[in-house]
Amino acid sequence: MGTGVPASEQISCAKGEARCPEDTGGTEAVHVPDCESPEASRSPNEPGSCDPEDSGQLMASYEGTARGYRVPPFGWRICLAHEFAEKRKPFQANNVSLSNLVKHLGMGLRYLKWWYRKTQVEKKTPFIDMFNCVPLRQIYGCPLGGIGGGTITRGWRGQFCRWQLDPGMYQHRTVMADQFTVCLRREGRTVYQQVLSLERPSVLRSWNWGLCGYFAFYHALYPRAWTVYQLPGQNVTLTCRQITPILPHDYQDSCLPVGVFVWDVENEGDEALDVSIMFSMRNGLGDGDDASGGLWNEPFCLERDGQTVQGLLLHHPTVPNPYTMAVAARLTADTTVTHVTAFDPDGTGQQVWQDLLQDGQLDSPAGQSTPSQKGVGIAGAVCVSSKLPPRGQCRLEFSLAWDMPKIMFGAKGQVYHRRYTRFFGPDGDAAPALSHYALCRYADWEDRISAWQSPVLDDRSLPAWYKSALFNELYFVADGGTVWLEVPEDSLPEELEGGMCQLRPILRDYGRFGYLEGQEYRMYNTYDVHFYASFALIMLWPKLELSLQYDMALATLKEDLTRRRYLMSGVMGPVKRKNVIPHDVGDPDDEPWLRINAYLIHDTADWKDLNLKFVLQVYRDYYLTGDQSFLKDMWPVCLAVMESEMKFDKDHDGLIENGGYADQTYDGWVTTGPSAYCGGLWLAAVAVMVQVAALCGAQDVQNKFAHILRRGQEAYERLLWNGRYYNYDSSSQPQSRSVMSDQCAGQWFLRACGLGEGDTEVFPTPHVVRALQTIFELNVQAFAGGGMGAVNGMQPHGVPDRSSVQSDEVWVGVVYGLAATMIQEGLTREGFLTAEGCYRTVWERLGLAFQTPEAYCQQRVFRSLAYMRPLSIWAMQLALQQQQEKKASRQIVGQDRGLSKGAKSGPKELP
C-alpha cells in the first residue's frame, strides 16, 4: 500500500478475509452489559426486566476487550464487523397481489403518466418516486447537525454517507476522502498509521484501508454516539465521541449546523507515544454539483475568549445554495494542530499520507488553494497531535460545521434565512465562529443532554431496548429534511380579523418549522402523520409545535382553486378548499408554504381524519403547555373545520361515515360507512369541542356538541362494537370485521389530554380494555410469532387482512401509539411487548437503524425509509409520565393534587 510502515505493524482486515492478527494476551471476547440488573421482583403490569444480552447478536462478532472511555450502558450497540443476514427490498409494484393490482390499475397508469411528465419534461424529482426507491443500505448512524440547518450522517462503520444540505433533498453517497486516520509514533518513528474505515476503495490507494472491524464497536444514544477502536498490537484504545446540540426546550443552540468529535486516546502500554488524528474532508460530494469546478479551501485560525480554534474552510460556491464547510480543531497547551490545504480526493493520496507518516503532522501551507478545475475534485485535512504518557490518556477535539445561511427551495423563487442566522449572521462567513462556539460549548451541551436523559436511563423499571428507541428515534427531528426558517417582519402574515393574536409573535420569535413525512415521501408537515409524530415536538420543543399549528391554521383558512387531476380517482378538483386542513404544506423541490398540498393521490378535502386530528392536537397542545392564548386563537379554526366535517354525518346520527374509498391516513385501505378509526377520532374531537367550548364560555356551542356526542356514542357502540373489539367498518365487505390495530386512536388522544375517563369518558373503559387485549392477542401475538409488533389488520380467526396493500403491513409509528394506549389503560406489559417487536425488527434484525421505515411486512419488503411517524414513541413516554403522576398523587394523603377520578383537566376557563 506504500505506507512505509512495517507490515508486521500494519494490522488490518477486511470482510471475507481471515480474522485479524491480534495481540490481546489471549483474552476472551468481552461481555458488554446493556442494562442494569433488574429488580428481583416486579408487578405484572410493569415493563419487565432488562435483558443483559440486549445487543448480544449485534455484538457477537466483537473480539476486543476494550469498553471505551465513558461509553454509557444504554443505547444501540453494534460491532463494526457485524453483517445483517436479512436483506430486504423496498416495496414495489411486483409486491402487490393480483387482486390489489387490478384495483389500482387506473391509479398506476395515471401515476406513470404524471411521473414521466415530472421527471422527463419538468426535470424534477417526484414527491414520491415509486420507480426509484432508496435501496437498502444497512450502514447509517447518528446524524450530525442541529434542527433545521441540514444534516450529515456518519454511518456506524465510520463513513460519511447521507447528506441533506440542500433543504429536504438527500444524497445517499459515501465520500471516501471523508475519514479519520490515526498515526502512532514511538521514539520518533511512526509504527502504526491506519484509516479508521473498513472500506477498501479504488481511490486514495496509498492509504492503509481495511480496518479490522472485529476490534471496534459503535454505540448510539442520540444525539451522541461513540465509536471504540481497540488497536490490536498497539495497546491503544480510541474512543470517538460524536456530539450534536439537540437540546430540549432550547431554541438557540439546537438549531446550529455543527457536530463535534472528541477523541479520547488511552495508552495501556508502558511506553510513551505520540498520537495524531487526521480528519480529512472532500469539498463537496464528488457529484454533479462539484463538476463545474471553482471550489477552493483555505486555512483559518480564530482566537476568542482565550480559546483558539484552527482548521480549514472548504468553500463550495455552487448555486443556488452555496455553503462553506469548516473542519476545525481546538488548539491547547498539550496539542498541535496542522493541516494540508488541498489534495486530490480521486488520486492515490500518496503525498498527504507520506506527509503524516513522516512526523505525525501535516505541512500546513499558508494561503488559499487554487480553485478547482472543471471535473477535478479537491479535499483538505486537519490533524491534531499530542503526547501520550505510559498508561496515560489524552483528548483531541474536532468540529465539523457548515454555513449555508440563505436557501432556496427547488422552485428557486423565494430566499429564506435559516434559524441559526439569527445568532451567527446571514453573510456566509460564520463557519469559523460556529466551529469555535461548538468546540467551546460542547461540554455544556453534554451536561444538559445527560440531565435530560438520565431520569429515563436510570429508571430500572424500563427495558434497555426502550431507552435506546426513545432517544435514537429522535434522529428524525433533525434529519427529516428539516428546515427551521426565520420569518422577517415584512413577511409576517397580516393580523387576522377577530383571531390569532399570537400568530405574529410566535412566527417572529420562534420561526417557521417544517419536516418531511419521510425522506422518500417528500412533503413538509404531512398532517395526518404529524398527528402521531407530534408528541416529540410538543414534549421537547413545544414552541415549534405551536408554530407549526399556527402555520396549519393559516393554510386552513386559505384556498387554492387551481384544478388538477387526482391520481387515485382520476377526477379533477381544486388543490385546496377553504376551512379544511391541508394534507401538507408543500414539496421542498417546489415552493413549500406558498404552494401547499403536494400530495395529489387523493383529494384530501374529503378525508375524514385531517380536521379531527387538528382539533385533537390543538387541545393536546393546550393541555400540555397551558397556553390559553393559543387555545383562544385556535378556537375559531376548530369551529370552522368541525363545521366542515359535519357534512360527513349524512344520516345525522351523530357519527360520520367514510366514503367508500381510502379517505384517511391509511390511503390504500378502503373504508365504508361508520368506522372504528375515523368514527373514534370524530367522537374524541367532538368531546374535545365540548371541553373547549366550556373553557371559551360558548354555552350554545357546548350544548350542541354535547348533544352530538351523546347520539354519536350510541351509534358507534351499536354499529361497531361486537363484544371483543370495534369492527373495522360497518360495510358488508369481508374486511369489515377485521381487527384494526389503530382502532383506539381517539381514546389514545383523549387520555393524552387528561380526558377519556370518569366524567369525560367517551368510549366505555371495559370495551377499550377488551379491544386492546384482542389486538394484543391477534395483531401482535398471532402475527409473526409475536415478535414483529402489531399488523395493521387481522381477521378474527387469526389471519392477516390482505384485502389491501396496507392492511397486512406493520406501521412502526402506529405500533408505538398503540403501545402508549395500552400503557394508558393499565396494560403496560402488553404495551412494551408490542413496541419491542418493532424495535427488535427494525434496529436489530433488518439493519434499518436511523432510517426507521413507515412500514414492513412479515416477509421480504419494507416501505418508505426514514419516516416521520415513529416519533410517536414519545407518546409512550408521556403515558408513563402520566401514570407516575397519578400514582404520586394517590400517595399524597390529605392534599388535593393531580387529577382525581372524573376531574376535568387543564387550566381554568379562559378570560
Burial environment of residue 555 by CB neighbours within 10 A (0 to 12, 13 to 18, 19 or more): buried
Q: Is 258 strand, coil or helix?
A: strand
Q: Mean pLDDT, to the nearest integer, of 777-802?
A: 97
| Residue 27 banded pLDDT, cuts 50, 70, 90 | very low
H/E element, 335: strand 335-343
| Residue 496 banded pLDDT, cuts 50, 70, 90 | low
Spatial strand order of the sheet with 379-388 comes to: 189-195, 179-186, 273-282, 379-388, 335-343
Give the pLDDT confidence of 676-691 residue by residue, as tens digits: 999 999 999 999 999 9
Q: What residues have CB less than 8 Å from 662, skipping those under 6 apart?
A: 568, 602, 668, 669, 670, 671, 804
Cα gap 840→818, rounded to integer Å: 17
Q: Mean pLDDT, to the nearest integer, of 788-816?
A: 97
Give the model's pLDDT for residue 279.
Answer: 98
Q: Which of the two residues, 95 and 773, has the higher pLDDT score? A: 773
Q: Per-residue pLDDT for 222 more than 90?
A: yes
Q: Which of 707, 560, 696, 694 is nearest to 646 (CA)?
A: 707
Do residues 4 and 183 lie in contact, with contact meaning Cβ atoms separated by under 8 Å? no
Cα Dmax for the chain: 89
Give the pLDDT confidence of 819-850 residue by residue, as tens digits: 999 999 999 999 999 999 999 999 999 999 99
- pTM of the full structure: 0.93
Q: Kindly give the pairing relationship between strand 323-331 and strand 393-403.
A: antiparallel
Give the pLDDT confidence of 648-666 residue by residue, as tens digits: 999 999 999 999 999 999 9
Give the model's pLDDT for residue 364.
Answer: 97
Give the pLDDT confidence of 260-291 residue by residue, as tens digits: 999 999 999 999 999 999 999 999 999 888 88
Cα gap 491→290, rounded to integer Å: 34
In this structure, what DSSP letter does residue 144 have?
E
Residue with cell 404520586: 888
| Residue 33 banded pLDDT, cuts 50, 70, 90 | very low
Weakest mean pLDDT among 202-206, 554-558, 897-901: 897-901
721-753: string of b/e by CB count within 10 Å (b at 16+)? beebbbbbbbbebebbbbbbbbbbbbbbbbbbb
| Residue 9 banded pLDDT, cuts 50, 70, 90 | very low
Give the pLDDT confidence of 622-638 residue by residue, as tens digits: 999 999 999 999 999 99
| Residue 896 banded pLDDT, cuts 50, 70, 90 | low
Give the pLDDT confidence of 107-143 residue by residue, as tens digits: 999 999 999 999 999 999 999 999 999 999 999 999 9
Do residues 387 and 272 lie in contact, with contact meaning Cβ atoms separated by under 8 Å? yes
Cα gap 812→834, rounded to integer Å: 10
Give the model's pLDDT for residue 169.
Answer: 97
Do residues 513 and 148 lie in contact, with contact meaning Cβ atoms separated by under 8 Å? yes
Give the model's pLDDT for residue 497.
Answer: 58
Q: Per-residue pLDDT for 586 more than 60?
A: yes
Q: Per-residue pLDDT for 185 more than 50?
A: yes
Do residues 268 and 261 lie in contact, with contact meaning Cβ atoms separated by under 8 Å? no
Query: Helices (DSSP H) in 241-316: which residue ranges?
Result: 288-291
SS3 percent helix, strand, coil of the chain, rounded to 5, is 35, 20, 45
Q: Hey, what's the cell of 314?
A: 472548504
| Residue 18 banded pLDDT, cuts 50, 70, 90 | very low
Cα gap 98→88, rounded to integer Å: 21
Cα gap 451→207, rounded to integer Å: 41
Beta bridge pairs of residue 143: 153
Q: Is 576 strand, coil or helix?
A: strand
User: What do you get for the CA distance between the two ends of the chain, in Å?
Assistant: 76
Task: State the DSSP string of 473-526.
Answer: TTHHHHHTT-EEE---GGGSPPPBTTB-TTHHHHHHHH-EEE-BSBSSB--BT-
Give the pLDDT confidence of 94-113 residue by residue, as tens digits: 677 777 777 889 999 999 99
Weakest mean pLDDT among 10-24, 71-85, 573-587, 781-795: 10-24
Q: Hey, what's the cell of 663?
A: 379517505
Q: Which of 635, 732, 738, 741 is nearest to 689 (CA)?
A: 635
Percent of the chain at pLDDT above 70? Answer: 91
Q: Kindly give the pairing relationship between strand 379-388 and strand 89-90.
A: unpaired
Q: Which of 514, 522, 431 is nearest to 477 (CA)?
A: 514
**What's the mean per-residue pLDDT of the chain?**
91
Q: Kindly give the pairing relationship between strand 296-304 and strand 307-316.
A: antiparallel
Give the pLDDT confidence of 378-392 residue by residue, as tens digits: 999 999 999 999 999
Cα gap 446→242, rounded to integer Å: 10
Query: Helices 464-472 & 828-839, crossing angle to 10 degrees?
Result: 60
Percent of the chain at pLDDT above 90? Answer: 86
